[in-house]
Chain A
Amino acid sequence: MSVFAGPIQELVDELGRLPGIGPKSAQRIAFHILEVPKEEAVRLATAISGVKDRIRLCERCFNVGEAALCAVCSDSRRDSSIVCVVEDPRDIVAVERTREFHGTYHVLGGALNPIEGVGPDQLRVRDLLGRLEPEGVAEVIICTNPNLEGEATAMYLARLLGPLGTKVTRIASGLPVGGDLEYADELTLGRALVGRRQMAT
């Protein structure tokens, strides 16, 4: 049974579906929205629908962008012979902040986690394979999170890509295990990128 008038309850329910937002926070945000001037609430609504209308996944690397190709892929100065493989588009932001990388990216859409039912088929592995030859990829840098799932993914890709003649490297182990890549400071991540090592295949 809902306590609030229909529209408020609907908003509380929708907000409650967002990651990290419990029922109490959902209620707090809903009442905040109710109190702010209408223009402010409309700006939020427009931003939400704008992101769904205008943002799409890059056809090549699956980064987020506004066109068929993302900002990185459509930049002719980027070196397409070197591809940095990440789990999530947010990790691209972290790598870009280091200013140490001038190649292109490939977003896997997660990491291997058999317990959650995520195997190679659930990740964009096939799409990565399809890029190697046409783009003349000489090196793939695996930049997955420094945890068990990220390491499993890195080893899997090394085993898969190694025999195809592509050099496969892994960011250096300077990053602490268990931390998320997106929280790594640019200096540490930059060093990890520069100090990357070739993986056994």
Chain B
Amino acid sequence: MASFRDQGVVLRTTRLGEADRIITLITPEHGKVRAVAKGVRKTKSKLAGSLDLVTHVSLACWKGRELDVITQADVIDVFRAIREDLDKMPVAFTMIETVDHVALERHPMPELFKMLVGALSTLASEGGAVLLGAFLWKLLALEGVSPVVDRCTSCGEPAELVAFDESLGGFLCRSCRSGQAVTPEAVTLVRQILGGRLRQALAEPPSRATAEVERLATLATEYHLDRRLRSAHTSSSLP
């Protein structure tokens, strides 16, 4: 059997049999990897500590036909600050759920991997009110469906943009408007995020506009994936 080494971030874990788990990871070189971690639910398992959700690991696997088998996993980062903060956790959940939906199996995805590790590190350190929204917009750009933000999606005029329609793929002027009404502040933030001024956008304190940017990004992502992001809707019930 062939073996391989790679890095990964744990996206999903499912119980299997007596004490095993199926671990889904995003890796740079092998894309989405689904692998069995044998005996991982036993307290004395050497693998246990390193294969929890939202953990960045370096791993070694045997290649299998359907599922690979994890032979070694060493923690690179557990993003402790996320685990200790009830407000950061839902953001991390939505990030990994989205990556799980867009990642392809056995297909190198270095940019997606790097983006997720970068976003989780930022979440663990300084955070930022618009971080999840920015992550989703950037992910859509990586998927090749970046929204039109510099002019009206419909008529192409560089007019004031007052609406967002995910089914049209961007923002709209007053005469073409459909979908959701948007504030000028939200449009500015999305422009910053997609126009190379991410730092500036992340420095923005929580406001109606940052919440709006996240809501629009969720809408656009769900439209692109053609499915609901469960975590984006479940997390809101946290107090």
A residues at B contact (CB < 8 Å): 19-20, 112-121, 147-149, 151-152, 155-156, 159-160, 175-180, 183-185, 188
Q: Is B40 a contact partner of A178 (Cβ separation < 8 A)?
A: yes
Q: Is B43 a contact partner of A119 (Cβ separation < 8 A)?
A: no
Q: How far is the CA of A187 from the CA of B40 in the complex (A)?
A: 20
User: Which of B1-9, B49-57, B146-154 participates in binding chain A?
Assistant: B49-57
Q: Is A119 a contact partner of B48 (Cβ separation < 8 A)?
A: no
Minimum CB–CB distance for B175 against chain A, Å: 40
Closest to A19 in B: B15
The one of B44, B48, B84 in contact with A177, judged by C-beta atoms closer than 8 angstroms, is B48
Q: How far is the CA of A151 from the CA of B79 in the complex (A)?
A: 13
Q: Is A115 a contact partner of B12 (Cβ separation < 8 A)?
A: yes
Q: Kindly state whether residue B239 has any CB partner on chain A within 8 Å.
A: yes
Q: How far is the CA of A13 from the CA of B181 in the complex (A)?
A: 52
The one of B49, B84, B231, B239 in contact with A176, judged by C-beta atoms closer than 8 angstroms, is B49
Closest to B51 in A: A178
Known pairs A121-B237, A160-B239, A183-B19; A114 contacts B49 (CB<8 A): no
Q: Kindly state whether residue B45 has any CB partner on chain A within 8 Å.
A: yes
Closest to B96 in A: A115
Q: How far is the CA of A112 from the CA of B53 in the complex (A)?
A: 13
Closest to B235 in A: A114
Q: How far is the CA of A125 from the CA of B42 in the complex (A)?
A: 28
Residues from chain A with a CB closer than 8 A to the CB of B17 are: 20
Q: How far is the CA of A188 from the CA of B42 in the complex (A)?
A: 13
Q: How far is the CA of A77 from the CA of B230 in the complex (A)?
A: 44
Residues from chain B with a CB closer than 8 A to the CB of A159 are: 86, 239
Chain B interface bracket (under 10, 10 to 19, 20 to 34, 35 or more)? 35 or more
Q: Kindly state whether residue B140 has any CB partner on chain A within 8 Å.
A: no
Q: Is B12 a contact partner of A180 (Cβ separation < 8 A)?
A: no
Q: Kindly state whether residue B226 has any CB partner on chain A within 8 Å.
A: no
Q: Is A116 a contact partner of B51 (Cβ separation < 8 A)?
A: no
Q: Is A152 a contact partner of B43 (Cβ separation < 8 A)?
A: no
The one of A19, A147, A156 in contact with B52, judged by C-beta atoms closer than 8 angstroms, is A147
| Contact indicator per residue, chain B 215-239, by CB within 8 Å of chain A (1) or not (0) | 0000000000000001100110111
Q: Can you list 13 residue pairs at the A/B interface with Cβ under 8 Å?
A: A20-B16, A115-B230, A116-B230, A148-B54, A155-B89, A159-B86, A159-B239, A177-B49, A178-B41, A178-B50, A179-B42, A179-B44, A179-B45
Q: Kindly state whether residue B29 has any CB partner on chain A within 8 Å.
A: no
Q: Is B52 a contact partner of A115 (Cβ separation < 8 A)?
A: no
Q: How far is the CA of A149 from the CA of B15 in the complex (A)?
A: 14
Q: How far is the CA of A195 from the CA of B50 in the complex (A)?
A: 24
